[in-house]
Amino acid sequence: MPKFDYGLNYAELDLRAHPELYRVGRGEQGVLLVQPYKGEILPHWRFATPEVARESSDAIYALFERYLADGDFVGADMARKFLQMGFTRSRRYANHKGGKKYDGPVPDDKKGQSGAHGRAELPRQPEDPVKAQSARIFKERWDQAEANADYTRLKKEHRAKYG
């Protein structure tokens, strides 16, 4: 599977106009880079309470469905990544007060990439039930997106066409 290309100038690149440049990558790679989708989806992304998480995940899933209806795989995949990030960030806050999972700063050359990068994981706190519920809400929508037959078909077509 081709890796997400962090070498592109995403600040000036419109991936709706150039879907051939998009690589799915792994997990949430590129979720806060790829335009115009970041600008369209990020304003809806919130998880502070279960109510906010429900509203957010519903709005993002509606965008996911709109992108699918338009045949826009890149948009659908970015919406799927935001749903996944809603789950992972909610879980991080459920497990670590303040959301800080690792000790020390992220090295500059690793910003925007996942993983500990040699840093120690901080001890988990007693689970925050509010953030845990927010995580479950996002997980349901993320699973729904992953299981969507149109999404699966468009993903397969995108990879066959562009790598």
Which residue type is seen at 105?
Answer: P
Query: pLDDT of 14-61, one tens digit each?
Result: 999 999 999 999 999 999 999 999 999 999 999 999 999 999 999 999
- Helices (H) and strands (E) counted in the chain, each on its own, are 5, 0
CB 157 within 8 A of CB 76: no
Where are the alpha helices (H) located in the chain, listed in sequence order?
37-41, 50-69, 73-95, 129-147, 149-162
CB 91 within 8 A of CB 125: no
Query: pLDDT of 74-127, one tens digit each?
Result: 999 999 999 999 999 999 888 877 666 666 676 655 555 555 566 777 767 678
